[in-house]
Amino acid sequence: MSPVIETDEQQALRSAVAALGKRYGRDYLTTVIAENRHPTELWAEAAKLGYLGVNLPEAYGGGGGGIAELSIVLEELGAAGCPLLMLVVSPAICGTVIARFGTEAQKRQWLPGLADGSRTMAFGITEPDAGSNSHRITTTARRDGADWVLTGRKVFISGVDIADETLIVGRTQDARTGKLKPCLFVVPRDTAGFGRRRIDMELSGAEKQFELTLDDVRLPADALVGDEDAGLLQLFAGLNPERVMTAAFAIGMGRYALSRAVEYARDRTVWKQPIGAHQAVAHPLAQAHIDLELARLMMQKAAFLYDSGDDVAAGEAANMAKYAAGEACVKAVDQAVHTLGGNGLTREFGLASLITAARVSRIAPVSREMILNYVSHQTLGLPKSY
């Protein structure tokens, strides 16, 4: 790749992470999932090499890079078949929000652990009755003396069982209705009143999803990260990196599936030539490759804008990157499975489960339709239907 798009350091990071991914690979993750455990060995090794906190400030133990670097880490692990989903929430959302809006004490308390991977933080915004419309969330924080007391419900929150804390998005009692004025709270896993129930997902991933109940969860004053009146800016400081990282997750998965299909199409021969010589097999794979490359270009643009401090332009680009990557991933996986014929559906080749996994990047953290709505309204200036 041209250094115009990625610096020499970024390219070196890409190769180093790819080498780490290759040492673990799909077989490692398949075993971890089958044994119902977590990819702790890979997490620990990536942590030791400084990859998990590559985006966090050096003063707090991070690598001093940005979302551009962290997205490289996730994409390359994904392309090797062993993505670490918690990178999307722990260093990318929670780490960024705390680094940008936390007090000095909060930064010292949380960032070193997030940077060296010894601490993981989940992120909870989605609610059962709000879904895509975050303005309808009802998780409410009321003051009680110096404390905060949180009440509400969350759904589909990833990794709460392994995360030491979850960064919960709520609203204060004073701003209970109307346009969302979000405020964010760090909730330790074992806090009284903080309950979780695993959701039975048809997804084969190491990280599980949970429904959360917050039943009068009492938190100290310093659990609040940022200003209770800061509005959407500090929330999107975390959500835009999340979109870039979801794009990286999708591109990595698409690349992994595509590489398996190409390998297969080169060898598998049922007529005179390997099936990859038939253009009906080759062209869709070539298209999938082009779509993934284009999505990566938009992801790099979004990461660059975000890292240079242009939150508004980054928001638009991050949405488009997430959309493009999600679509490219779904198409690449579908085509890969098809290329393998019957083997596309065997456990031995392990591609079929990616069909479900690929759909996640179309739905979360913001669905394809909500991005199309965003571009219709914000970019094209078309009227709103809702």
Ligand X SMILES: Cc1cc2nc3c(=O)[nH]c(=O)nc-3n(C[C@H](O)[C@H](O)[C@H](O)COP(=O)(O)OP(=O)(O)OC[C@H]3O[C@@H](n4cnc5c(N)ncnc54)[C@H](O)[C@@H]3O)c2cc1C
Q: Which residues contact ligand X by CB under 6 A?
A: 89, 123-126, 131-132, 156-158, 203, 209, 360, 363-367, 369-370, 373, 386
Smallest separation, CB 97 to ligand X (Å): 13
How far apart are alpha carbons 12 and 160 in whole angstroms?
Answer: 33
Smallest separation, CB 268 to ligand X (Å): 32
> Which is nearer to ligand X, 140 or 343 (by Cβ)?
140
Identity at 187, one-letter amino acid code:
V
What are the structure tokens assigned to 322, written together? 């997430």
> Tokens 């179309």 correspond to what residue?
362
Burial letters 4-20, b for 16+ CB under 10 A, else e: eebeeebeebbebbeeb
> Which is nearer to ligand X, 203 or 352 (by Cβ)?
203
**Cβ pair 361, 246 in contact under 8 A:** yes
> Which is nearer to ligand X, 180 or 281 (by Cβ)?
180
Smallest separation, CB 158 to ligand X (Å): 4
- Find, among 375, 365, 100, 378, the residue nearest to 230 by Cα: 100
- CA 70 vs. chain centroid, Å, equals 11
Please state the length of the chain.
Answer: 386
Smallest separation, CB 272 to ligand X (Å): 44
Identity at 30, one-letter amino acid code:
T
The residue number whose beta carbon is nearest to ligand X equals 131
> Residue 209: enclosing H or E segment and its boundaries?
strand 209-219
Smallest separation, CB 372 to ligand X (Å): 8
Smallest separation, CB 331 to ligand X (Å): 18
> Which is nearer to ligand X, 92 or 340 (by Cβ)?
92
> Residue 282: enclosing H or E segment and its boundaries?
helix 279-307
How far apart are alpha carbons 288 and 336 in whole angstroms?
Answer: 9
**Cβ pair 137, 170 in contact under 8 A:** yes
Smallest separation, CB 130 to ligand X (Å): 7
> Which is nearer to ligand X, 203 or 262 (by Cβ)?
203
How far apart are alpha carbons 215 and 196 in whole angstroms?
Answer: 11
> Which is nearer to ligand X, 56 or 163 (by Cβ)?
163
Smallest separation, CB 327 to ligand X (Å): 13
**154 has which bridge partners?**
212
> Which is nearer to ligand X, 306 or 323 (by Cβ)?
323
**213 has which bridge partners?**
153, 195
How far apart are alpha carbons 321 and 181 in whole angstroms?
Answer: 26
> Which is nearer to ligand X, 118 or 367 (by Cβ)?
367
> Which is nearer to ligand X, 159 or 276 (by Cβ)?
159
Q: How is 125-175 classified by DSSP, letter by letter? A: ---TTTTT-GGG---EEEEETTEEEEEEEEEEEETTTT-SEEEEEEEEGGG
> Which is nearer to ligand X, 53 or 365 (by Cβ)?
365
How far apart are alpha carbons 205 and 39 in whole angstroms?
Answer: 10
Smallest separation, CB 274 to ligand X (Å): 36
Beta strands 121-124 and 194-198 are unpaired
Smallest separation, CB 59 to ligand X (Å): 28
How far apart are alpha carbons 190 and 59 in whole angstroms?
Answer: 29
